[in-house]
């Protein structure tokens, strides 16, 4: 924790450091806060949110079978309607981690059909 950080924030340093070691908490909380607080995100907050969503550690989660995850990926795809390029970034990562769901990823525009 930087010594220049506000005192109230420094009081939470142990909890913040513990969260930083948790991969999902780090992405869900700390990375999101970092993006929100960085001056560069003030220029294009939409791109910052898209970048954050595309970096979701979904390949670490146990996904259900290809048939069962179709509806879930359809819902997730709608989160990216504002930035399809970010959807493709996440899609490429998921396709690499789970080649068995490539057809479902293509059906929801996470990857192109040519990538099958």
The domain of 11 spans 1-37
23 and 64 both lie in a single domain: no
Structure tokens at 106: 């293509």
CA distance 84 to 86: 5
Taking each helix axis from N to C end, the angle separating 45-54 and 84-97, rounded to the nearest 10 degrees, works out to 10
49 and 28 both lie in a single domain: no
Number of domains in the chain: 2
For 45-95, how does the pLDDT look when each residue is reduced to its tens digit (9 = 90+)? 778 888 888 888 887 777 777 677 888 888 889 989 989 999 999 999 989
Residue 41 has pLDDT above 60, yes or no: no
14 and 48 both lie in a single domain: no
52 and 108 both lie in a single domain: yes
Residues 6+ apart with CB under 8 A from 24: 57, 60
Short-list 104, 49, 45, CA closest to 73: 104
pLDDT category at 1 given cuts 50, 70, 90 is: low
The 8-class DSSP code of residue 110 comes to S
Alpha-carbon separation of residue 85 from 10, 23, 47 (angstroms): 37, 24, 10
Lowest mean pLDDT among 24-28, 59-63, 105-109: 59-63
Place of tokens 């525009």: 109
Structure tokens at 105: 């990823």
More confident residue, 41 or 39: 39
Radius of gyration, alpha carbons of the chain: 17
The 8-class DSSP code of residue 80 comes to T
Q: Give the pLDDT of residue 116.
A: 67
């Amino acid at each position: 924790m930087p010594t220049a950080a506000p005192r109230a924030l420094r009081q939470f340093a142990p909890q913040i450091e513990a969260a930083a070691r948790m991969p999902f908490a780090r992405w869900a909380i700390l990375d999101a806060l970092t993006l929100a607080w960085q001056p560069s995100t003030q220029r294009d907050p939409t791109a910052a949110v898209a970048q954050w969503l595309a970096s979701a550690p979904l390949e670490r989660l146990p996904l259900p079978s290809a048939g069962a995850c179709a509806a879930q990926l359809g819902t997730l795809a709608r989160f990216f309607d504002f930035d399809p390029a970010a959807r493709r970034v996440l899609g490429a990562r998921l396709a690499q981690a789970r080649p068995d769901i490539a057809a479902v990823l293509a059906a929801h525009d996470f990857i192109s059909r040519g990538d099958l």
